[in-house]
Amino acid sequence: MALHGLGRHTGQASGILCMAIVGGALVPFAQGALADGFNVQVSFLLPAACYAFVLYFGAKYASMYKA
């Protein structure tokens, strides 16, 4: 979904998308820092915000792929 219709920018976008995987390593680290700085309950707001963005992205662009 993320690379559909990018034409000549597909290569660059795929690199950016691959770098987003780093977020999968940094978000847990940041969540741990939040848990240490505040409390565990507050730290779960970070992954909740990440999942909310994924939901937004999917909902916004899902109509492009309906069969």
| Residue 3 is assigned to a structural domain of this protein | no
| Residue 30 is assigned to a structural domain of this protein | yes
> For position 1, what pLDDT does the model report?
77
Domain, as residue range, for 30: 23-65
> For position 64, what pLDDT does the model report?
66
CA distance 52 to 48: 6
> For position 65, what pLDDT does the model report?
60
> For position 60, what pLDDT does the model report?
79
Instruction: For 13-66, write each residue's pLDDT tens digit.
Output: 887 788 777 778 899 999 999 999 999 999 999 999 988 988 887 787 677 666
Class of residue 4 by CB neighbours under 10 A (exposed 0-12, middle 13-18, buried 19+):
exposed
pTM over 0.85? The answer is: no
Please state the domain count of the chain: 1
CA 67 to chain centre: 25
